[in-house]
Structure formats: structure tokens, C-alpha cells
Amino acid sequence: MVLTLPSLLLSLLVLPLLSNAASRTSPPSGAIIVRQNTKTTGEFATIQAAVNSLPSDGSNRSIFIYSGTYSEQVYINRTGALALYGYTTDTTTYASNAVTIVHSSSQASGAASDDATGTLRVHKDDFSLYNINVKNSYGQGSQAAALSAYGNRMGLYASSFLGYQDTLYANQGTQVYGKSYIEGAVDFIFGRQGLAYFEGNTISSIGPGCITASGRETNDTGSYVLNRNTLVLGPTALTGTSGKVFLGRPWGAKGNIISHPTIESQYLNSRVVFKNTQIGAQASASWDPCLNPALWSVWSTSDTRTDNVLFATFQNSGPGSSGVTLPSFATALNASAAAEYTIATAVGSDWESWVDTNFVTGE
């Protein structure tokens, strides 16, 4: 192609802007640097070392992580705000992420709690994660969390959470998950008191089981609200997954509630709302509808725990959305009832002061 002078000038001016618009390949101003095998003074070779270097005060800090697979378990509990940024050539999607944190731990292999299994354990308020894959590589057979979230005002954006059982432990505090990838098979979005809002994520089932297991311990209106997410059968799904995936089942501890001060009912509450869910990828007409037509499951046939649940759906669409036959404990919301479950009801009316609206709009 022959470039005229004006078009050459135009492309010189415009192309760099376009090509850089969505990348983050160097540290944001003020960020501490993590780089594998670094020999540079002031940089850190592991994420935990960088976290440990931060002052234990209320200052607002950030960490930039260069490309690579970091085999470590990361625990964060400093007081001040913290953002973790992964190197990427496209900040808008998890699909270009170049940073992975991986660790293998499960309760079967000795971890004392779901939290202790987590590859990334966040025990603090005011935390954000951008463009980072977080994986628990234990595999099938036991509780093995990728993320363990215990904090208020946590934003998790364009990241991936990968595991099999109990991948994403939204256990305490308030969190938003935006434009991320969440993969697992058994109870892979779960927790007790956590209040969470999910928008624009791809939720990927790789084996038979329930996507959510909410076990709220109080009779309040807190819930997980999932709005405008896409459910897919994952690329590594086991044969026989089809028809054996449910939106959720009620976690709890019937008859076995040990000295918890806030328990107000015999059966723990379970509250999950799926709105505007795309079931099956839009482009794939041949998508295998893996959801069971009942959509929701009992805890187990001998211990159903369905007495005190809100399991609600509104406006499912996509190739896997037809032929639904809801059980009596589930609710099909009408438009006005569905409108009650918003980002504000999920994580608080102050959400606009801490949520990154490039990833989560609340719409």
C-alpha cells in the first residue's frame, strides 16, 4: 500500500495511541516491582516478598508483576489499600493475562480450613486485583480454593480463578468480580457471610456439580447477585458433565451449628440470584447444554437444607436456557422483583466510591 504524507502522519500519530491504549507492560507510577529471577536492587522475585516489604500502615500502595508463573501461596493482611497489577498487552480481558499465581493445597493434603488452602488469601479491606490468573492446581477430590476473600471493598477485574472444588471463597466482606473467568466443578463460588456481585464474567464448569454454595449464617437480606454473566462448559470438562451442573445448592450445617452467635435458624440461609444469565456461548449454536433442567439442587437427598433459601433467576438466555423445570424451593423472579437485586443491594450503596466501572457498571 502507498501511504500519502497525510495518511502516514495520521498513522504515526494514531497507531501508537491505539496499540498502547489497553496495555500495561510497565509499572504504574509508584508501584513496587515483582519480576521472576530479578537481580535488580529494589525489585522482588516473589509476590509475597513484595507484599512483606510494604509498610504496615494505612498508606495506599500498588504492586506490578511482570509476566510469568509464580509458584507460591500469597497471604495479604496489611491495613492500607493495595492493588495488584499483572503485566498484560490488553487490560480489558483476562484472555491476555501473562501472570499466573499457582499453588496446590487442599484439606485432604492437610490444610486446616478452606481459607488455608487458598492460593491468594486476602484478609484486608480496600484491595484490587487486575489481570492476574490465580490457580489452585490440586485438582479433584477435596476443598482447594484459588482465592480466599475476607475483605470489604474488594474489586477483582479481568482475572482468572481456576480450581475444581471450592475455587472462589467469597467468605466475608464485600466484593465485586468483573470481566473475569471463574472455573471449577463442585461448589466453586461459595462462602458464609460474604456479599458479592458478579458481572460480565465467564463461569466455566469442568465437572458435575453446583456453581454456587452459599451458606449465609444470618436471616438477613445479604446475597450473591450474579448479573449478565455467561455460563459455559469448560475446555477441560469431564465427560458426563452435561446435565449435571446446577446453579447452586444450600451450604450449611443442619443440626451441627457449633456456637455461632449469629445463627438465627436451624437451617443456614442460602441466597443467590442469577439475573440476565447467558447459558452457553452466544456464537456456539451447537453448545452442549450442561445445566440440569431443575437449575438448583438440594444439599443432598438425605439432608436437603432447602427450608430457608432464596434461589432465584430472572431472564436466562442462550442455547442452554430452555426446558427449565424449577423445583418448589426455587424462585422465578418477575421484572419488578428482579430489580430489587442490584449491585447496591449486594455490596452497598457506596459501591460507586470503590468499584472500577471500567469492569463493573452495575447495569
Contacts by 60-63 with C-beta closer than 8 Å and gap 24+? 60/126, 61/30, 61/32, 62/28, 62/30, 62/31, 62/32, 63/31, 63/32, 63/33, 63/34
Q: Which of 11, 77, 109, 358 binds ligand NAG (CB under 6 A)?
A: 77
Contacts by 48-54 with C-beta closer than 8 Å and gap 24+? 48/72, 48/73, 48/74, 48/75, 51/75, 51/76, 51/78, 51/82, 54/78, 54/80, 54/82
Provide, rounded to whole angstroms, the least separation between the CB of residue 291 and ligand NAG.
23
Nearest to ligand NAG of 206, 338 (CB atom): 338
Q: Which of 308, 316, 321, 342 binds ligand NAG (CB under 6 A)?
A: 308
Q: Is 334 in the site for ligand NAG (CB under 6 A)?
A: yes
Q: Which stretch binds ligand NAG (CB under 6 A): 64-72, 177-185, 320-328, 331-339?
A: 331-339
Nearest to ligand NAG of 79, 304 (CB atom): 79
Using CB under 6 A, count the residues that bind ligand NAG. Answer: 13
Residues 278-297 that bind ligand NAG (CB under 6 A): none
How many CA atoms within 13 Å lie on the side-chain side of 25? Answer: 8
Instruction: In whole angstroms, give the CA distance from residue 311 to residue 224.
Output: 10
Residue type at 145 in one-letter notation = A
Nearest to ligand NAG of 67, 218 (CB atom): 218
With cell 433459601, the residue in question is 309
Q: Is 52 in the site for ligand NAG (CB under 6 A)?
A: no
Provide, rounded to whole angstroms, the least separation between the CB of residue 167 and ligand NAG.
24
Q: Which stretch binds ligand NAG (CB under 6 A): 14-22, 168-176, 237-245, 334-342?
A: 334-342
Q: Which stretch binds ligand NAG (CB under 6 A): 73-81, 201-209, 233-241, 244-252?
A: 73-81
- Contact between 161 and 96 (Cβ < 8 Å): no
| Active-site entry in 125, 126, 187, 220 | 187
Burial of 71 (0-12, 13-18, 19+ CB in 10 A): middle
With cell 537481580, the residue in question is 39
Choose among 186, 203, 299, 278: nearest CA to 241. 186
Q: Which stretch binds ligand NAG (CB under 6 A): 45-53, 74-82, 157-165, 247-255?
A: 74-82
How many CA atoms within 13 Å lie on the side-chain side of 348? Answer: 15
Q: Is 337 in the site for ligand NAG (CB under 6 A)?
A: yes
- Phi first, then psi, for residue 95 (nearest 5°) are -65, -20
The mark string for 201-220 relative to ligand NAG (x by CB under 6 A, - otherwise) is ------------------x-
Assigned C-alpha cell, 78 = 496489611
Nearest to ligand NAG of 302, 334 (CB atom): 334
Catalytic site residue 288?
Answer: no
CA dist 60 to 18, 22, 54, 227, Å? 30, 24, 10, 30
Instruction: In whole angstroms, give the CA distance from residue 119 to residue 111.
Output: 12
SS3 10: helix
Nearest to ligand NAG of 56, 322 (CB atom): 56
Burial of 255 (0-12, 13-18, 19+ CB in 10 A): exposed
Q: Which of 11, 60, 236, 349 binds ligand NAG (CB under 6 A)?
A: 60
Nearest to ligand NAG of 352, 363 (CB atom): 352
Q: Is 126 in the site for ligand NAG (CB under 6 A)?
A: yes
Q: Which of 67, 79, 140, 315 binds ligand NAG (CB under 6 A)?
A: 79
Q: Which of 25, 53, 265, 282 binds ligand NAG (CB under 6 A)?
A: 265
Longest Cα separation, the chain: 79
Q: Is 350 in the site for ligand NAG (CB under 6 A)?
A: no
Q: Is 108 in the site for ligand NAG (CB under 6 A)?
A: no
Q: Is 257 in the site for ligand NAG (CB under 6 A)?
A: no
Where in the sequence numbering do the catalytic residues fall? 187
Residues in contact with ligand NAG by CB under 6 A are 56, 60, 77, 79, 81, 126, 219, 264-265, 308, 334, 336-337
